[in-house]
Amino acid sequence: MAEQLARDSQYAATVLKTLSNIQRSDALSKIRSGLIKAKDEIICANRLDLELANQSHISSSLIKRLDLSKNGKFDSMCDGIMDVARLEDPLNKITLATELDEGLNLYRVTCPVGVLLIIFESRPEVIANITALAIKSGNAAILKGGKESLNTFKAMAKVINHVLEIETDVPKNAIQLIATRGEVSDLLNQDTYIDLVIPRGSNQLVRSIKDNTKIPVLGHANGICSIYIDEFADIEGKAKRIIVDAKTNYPAGCNAVETLLINEKLLGTEAYKSILESLVSNEVTCHMAPELLRDLPSSLKDKYSKLFVEATERDFHHEFLSLDIAIKTVSDVKQAVEHINRHSSKHTDAIITENEENANIFLNGVDSSGVYWNCSTRFADGFRYGFGTEVGISTNKIHARGPVGLEGLVCYYYQLRGNGQIVGDYLGGGGKKAFIHKHLDTRGMRLK
Amino acid sequence: MAEQLARDSQYAATVLKTLSNIQRSDALSKIRSGLIKAKDEIICANRLDLELANQSHISSSLIKRLDLSKNGKFDSMCDGIMDVARLEDPLNKITLATELDEGLNLYRVTCPVGVLLIIFESRPEVIANITALAIKSGNAAILKGGKESLNTFKAMAKVINHVLEIETDVPKNAIQLIATRGEVSDLLNQDTYIDLVIPRGSNQLVRSIKDNTKIPVLGHANGICSIYIDEFADIEGKAKRIIVDAKTNYPAGCNAVETLLINEKLLGTEAYKSILESLVSNEVTCHMAPELLRDLPSSLKDKYSKLFVEATERDFHHEFLSLDIAIKTVSDVKQAVEHINRHSSKHTDAIITENEENANIFLNGVDSSGVYWNCSTRFADGFRYGFGTEVGISTNKIHARGPVGLEGLVCYYYQLRGNGQIVGDYLGGGGKKAFIHKHLDTRGMRLK
């Protein structure tokens, strides 16, 4: 069952990869029209999901994320499909061209990865978003949504499959939507057919997937982001605003700051007090390293005693996802870099300083997907980066890192076009001819 | 033990990644001098390996690969280090630059992957080759050679470690060489510290590594390459030369052809007979699909009866690595593409045709790391592609595909440089500012 499904996806992928950008973008436009036409049915199904959610005492924030009918969410979901359709074609770009010899030309060409298995929780609009990204990038996708949005998911799946089958050149099986959890665990064994798994959801979801598959997984389990306030930071103008934004703008986001490292030279200064005050006055609980907790500015201690607690070692490896932050001092930028390389989850880390040399030590030394200077970690996001949308944020060390847009869903292959050349004629293969290896200009070069 | 070793590598990687191209290339030059100075000791150790190999009845071809003293192998190994040193710096290249807003600039910058675990069999010169690629690309590497070259390996390791420690800015632990098989299996569990495993060796080696680690593995287990001879092929001028080269130039190579697909319209023609004759006259055993075996041209059948055998289904999924080839017919280029996408190992596949339309269907449809038109599959090689050297050939679908040179050992991260920007000021984050998202020209742009 899972094997057949995965095999069907792979076959669809081999057809989809040969379609032109026009054919792929046109399919997205048709899907958008189909969803708009079926709006009533989809909203109806969504209402059923909401009712079931209300009955099962799901948190109100989760219910809010489920609801497609409010604040023009349905329409903006449909518009989002066209935003993706209008993006530049990520396929068939030539990224390297070399004349190996006269009449023997090598091209490195972007191509789809193949078959994606995408597993996400709750928000139903993700279906439209991911469908658009997958088709635009020429990848077949198997989608599994959360059980909370099952009815919405089914209603949308029906429309998408119908449109693909009747109105487009994209094979119907290019997008397959599955409903049960059991199927996922079987699919995670289909490493012959599935090329990449993209989980979007909680730490537990991502970890359990990583532990149960040989297929490469693109994503992040944790977002343990740190900000280092250097001795040369502009505290009032930058540092305070940035840490408050990074912590409070959306504490549940993976790009929210979880650890604050302060240069020890700031200890005992007004600046130090001011930094702490900016956090506690915004109701942030500060998990202070023990030596800092003993030495708190007394005025703060009295006024906000409940918001200062002692940090455990674990707090510095921890993603709070709430109005909590772990705070410690470091002796200099190098120690900050070392702390981050040891404790962070390689998501996004920032330095606040006016000293360019220290900034460069940090930018060059921290080994994370995003390394920032004088701005909030919350900018780590595909939309903010200008990618139109994102399929997730990767903390992997290979393939794609940081917010992953269309470019993270493509890879490349080599085309070699000759007119009868054989290796036996060349040096190293038994012959006497030498290679030319002349690099050709590839700017804006496409295969078709 | 393995954990400490991996942790040391990771720490070394964080230092190595901050070094300049000059520092990295200088270290390579020092290693080369060190090896040349220690030539006598290394050749002595190599002789010991050869003696032990002779005693243990290892095949003569393997012994030949072990021997560093013949044909200037030692010197060309040392020269190879400088070839890598002289390659363009793969790090700190800016591959995307976007002005998100005034004073808020995003850069995508190439960086090392981190820590590589490289496992290879027999050939001792690979140590020098991989050490050079790793240091040049800013990656720490843990190397494990085959037991046949253990003494050579130890002698070279001693020199490399000593040179790094005394004469260079590269931390000594950036290159660690391990000797026992037991350590490898422990290291394969160190997914916290090791970022990429690169096995170079037999199918069994690669498979057993893939089955025993969560770390991404770059490489290929099989090289099942196919050539399709189209009805519009130039048989005498191209097809025959190419298949003979692809099969006989080096049958043990992963880029040797293993499957020949012939357009069925050629059946019964002189061309068909001529193709088969070119193979059997070069002592290639042809594993013929049953219906073809029944209908062999009689003159060939009489003269070369022993070289025609019946193909099993398995032969079309099989890497012979010998003077054997599986042969069947297909109805057209589309069926050839389907056969290859189902049976090949996504290594390198070629079409021989004078018909551009068919060539494009093939080039566009085959989902392999290398797809060739009118040339031998044997060109799939880092040196021939102009990469200077290669760390291996990847049949993965993500990160790096085909022959992997320096570029396959780097990834990227995002730098965001601001002057106090927070997300709360922008649309989507609670504020009113819009992003500019202006793409900047990155040609030749580097961070330093």
Model pLDDT, residue B148: 87
> How close, in Å, is residue A159 to chain B by CA atoms?
28
What are φ and ψ of residue B284, in 5° steps? -85, 130
Q: Do B398 and A216 touch (CB under 8 A)?
A: yes
Q: Do B114 and A397 touch (CB under 8 A)?
A: yes
Give the number of A-B residue pairs with CB atoms closer than 8 Å: 250
Band (B56; pLDDT cuts 50, 70, 90): confident
- ipTM confidence: 0.94
- From chain A, pick out residues whose CB is under 8 angstroms from the CB of B104: 375, 379
> How close, in Å, is residue A68 to chain B by CA atoms?
18
- From chain B, pick out residues whose CB is under 8 angstroms from the CB of A444: none
Model pLDDT, residue A438: 96
Band (B365; pLDDT cuts 50, 70, 90): very high
> How close, in Å, is residue A144 to chain B by CA atoms?
22
Please name the member of A195, A249, A423 whose beta carbon is closest to the beta carbon of B249.
A423
> How close, in Å, is residue A413 to chain B by CA atoms?
5
Model pLDDT, residue B160: 95
Structure tokens at B71: 């044909």
Model pLDDT, residue A62: 78
What's domain A2-95+108-218+405-409's superfamily in CATH? Aldehyde Dehydrogenase; Chain A, domain 1 (3.40.605.10)
Cα–Cα distance for residue pair A408/A401, rounded to 1 Å: 8
Please name the member of B368, B397, B420 whose beta carbon is closest to the beta carbon of A238.
B420
Quick one: chain B helix, strand, coil %, rounded to 5? 45, 20, 35
Residue in B closest to A356 by C-alpha: B417
- From chain B, pick out residues whose CB is under 8 angstroms from the CB of A106: 385-386
Q: Do A375 and B426 touch (CB under 8 A)?
A: no
Q: Do A238 and B397 touch (CB under 8 A)?
A: no
> How close, in Å, is residue B293 to chain A by CA atoms?
28
Structure tokens at B445: 């742009």
Model pLDDT, residue A439: 93
Q: Do B210 and A210 touch (CB under 8 A)?
A: no
Band (A368; pLDDT cuts 50, 70, 90): very high
> How close, in Å, is residue A55 to chain B by CA atoms?
31
Residue in A closest to B195 by C-alpha: A397
Helical packing angle, B21-37 and B73-85, nearest 10°: 170
HSE of A130, CA atoms in CB hemisphere, 13 A: 31
Cα–Cα distance for residue pair A114/A444, rounded to 1 Å: 24
Model pLDDT, residue A397: 95
Reply yes or no on whether the pLDDT at A122 is more than 70: no
Range ranked top by mean pLDDT from A174-183, A202-211, A401-410: A401-410
Band (B27; pLDDT cuts 50, 70, 90): very high
Q: Whose CA is closest to B1, among B245, B135, B154, B187?
A: B187
What's domain A225-387's superfamily in CATH? Aldehyde Dehydrogenase; Chain A, domain 2 (3.40.309.10)
Q: Whose CA is closest to A381, among A365, A399, A394, A398?
A: A394
A290: number of Cβ within 10 Å: 11
Please name the member of B216, B416, B443 whose beta carbon is closest to the beta carbon of A398.
B216
Residue in B closest to A443 by C-alpha: B443
Q: Do B413 and A402 touch (CB under 8 A)?
A: yes
Q: Do A420 and B384 touch (CB under 8 A)?
A: no
Architecture of domain B225-385: 3-Layer(aba) Sandwich (3.40)
Please give the mean pLDDT across all residues of chain A. Answer: 94
- From chain B, pick out residues whose CB is under 8 angstroms from the CB of A423: 245, 249, 376, 378-379, 384
What average pLDDT does this structure show over A60-83? Answer: 88
Reply yes or no on whether the pLDDT at B121 is more than 90: no
Mutate to test the interface with A, among B347, B422, B443, B445 (most CBs of A within 10 A): B422
- In our burial notation (b when 16+ CB lie closer than 10 A, e otherwise), range B148-170 reads bbbbbbebbbbbbbebbeeebeb
What are φ and ψ of residue A381, in 5° steps? -170, 135
Strand arrangement, sheet containing A94-101: A438-439, A94-101, A104-112, A410-421, B370-375, B348-352, B225-229, B257-263, B324-330, B285-288, B308-310
H or E element that contains A186:
helix A181-187
Q: Do B424 and A249 touch (CB under 8 A)?
A: yes
- From chain A, pick out residues whose CB is under 8 angstroms from the CB of B246: 422
Reply yes or no on whether the pLDDT at A182 is more than 80: no
pLDDT in tens, B243-276: 999 999 999 999 999 999 999 999 999 999 999 9
Quick one: chain A helix, strand, coil %, rounded to 5? 45, 20, 35
What are φ and ψ of residue B424, in 5° steps? -60, -15
Q: Do B373 and A422 touch (CB under 8 A)?
A: no
> How close, in Å, is residue A281 to chain B by CA atoms?
17
Model pLDDT, residue B63: 82
Please give the mean pLDDT across all residues of chain B. Answer: 94
Q: Do B249 and A424 touch (CB under 8 A)?
A: yes
Model pLDDT, residue B122: 66
Q: Do B375 and A420 touch (CB under 8 A)?
A: yes
Structure tokens at B420: 């106090």
> How close, in Å, is residue A215 to chain B by CA atoms?
9
Reply yes or no on whether the pLDDT at A390 is more than 80: yes
> How close, in Å, is residue A83 to chain B by CA atoms?
15
Please name the member of B249, B371, B376 whose beta carbon is closest to the beta carbon of A413.
B371
Mutate to test the interface with B, among A422, A439, A443, A445 (most CBs of B within 10 A): A422
What are φ and ψ of residue A340, in 5° steps? -65, -45
Q: Do B412 and A435 touch (CB under 8 A)?
A: no
Model pLDDT, residue B187: 95
> How close, in Å, is residue B225 to chain A by CA atoms?
14
Q: Do B372 and A423 touch (CB under 8 A)?
A: no
- From chain A, pick out residues whose CB is under 8 angstroms from the CB of B437: 386
pLDDT in tens, A129-164: 899 999 999 999 999 988 888 999 999 999 999 999
pLDDT in tens, A319-335: 999 999 999 999 999 99
Q: Is B2-218+400-409 a domain of CATH 3.40.605.10?
A: yes
Residue in A closest to B341 by C-alpha: A14
Please name the member of A250, A367, A420 whose beta carbon is closest to the beta carbon of B242.
A420
Taking the domains of chain A in order of start, what are their residue ranges? 2-95+108-218+405-409, 225-387
pLDDT in tens, A393-413: 999 999 999 999 999 999 999
Mutate to test the interface with A, among B416, B419, B438, B445 (most CBs of A within 10 A): B416
Mutate to test the interface with A, among B379, B445, B447 (most CBs of A within 10 A): B379
Q: Are B395 and B220 in contact (CB under 8 A)?
A: yes
Q: Are A91 and A446 in contact (CB under 8 A)?
A: no
Cα–Cα distance for residue pair B226/B288, rounded to 1 Å: 14
Model pLDDT, residue A328: 97
The DSSP secondary structure of A393-432, one letter per residue, reads EE--SSS--EEE-GGGGEEEEEEEEEEEE-GGGBTTTTS-
Q: What angle do CA A184, A188, A192 make, to 5 degrees?
A: 135
Strand partners, B348: B370
Reply yes or no on whether the pLDDT at A30 is more than 70: yes
Model pLDDT, residue A389: 82
Model pLDDT, residue B448: 64
Q: Do A386 and B100 touch (CB under 8 A)?
A: yes
Specify the 3-state DSSP secondary structure of B379. helix
Reply yes or no on whether the pLDDT at A90 is more than 70: yes
Residue in A closest to B237 by C-alpha: A420
Q: Do B379 and A416 touch (CB under 8 A)?
A: yes
Taking the CA atoms of residue B250, residue B252, residue B256 and residue B257 in that order, the dihedral angle to the nearest 10 degrees is 120
Cα–Cα distance for residue pair A14/B337, rounded to 1 Å: 9
- From chain B, pick out residues whose CB is under 8 angstroms from the CB of A98: 385-386
Cα–Cα distance for residue pair A53/A330, rounded to 1 Å: 46
Reply yes or no on whether the pLDDT at B14 is more than 80: yes
pLDDT in tens, B291-319: 999 999 999 999 999 999 999 999 999 99
Reply yes or no on whether the pLDDT at B366 is more than 90: yes
CA distance readout (Å), B323 to A244, B225, B250: 69, 14, 9
Model pLDDT, residue A448: 64
- From chain A, pick out residues whose CB is under 8 angstroms from the CB of B18: 361, 364-365
Q: Whose CA is closest to B164, among B392, B40, B41, B9?
A: B9
With pLDDT > 90 as the criterion, what percentage of chain A qualifies?
84
H or E element that contains B125:
helix B125-136
> How close, in Å, is residue A399 to chain B by CA atoms?
4
Alpha-carbon Rg of chain A, whole angstroms? 26
What average pLDDT does this structure show over B216-231? Answer: 94
Model pLDDT, residue B293: 96
- From chain B, pick out residues whose CB is under 8 angstroms from the CB of A138: none
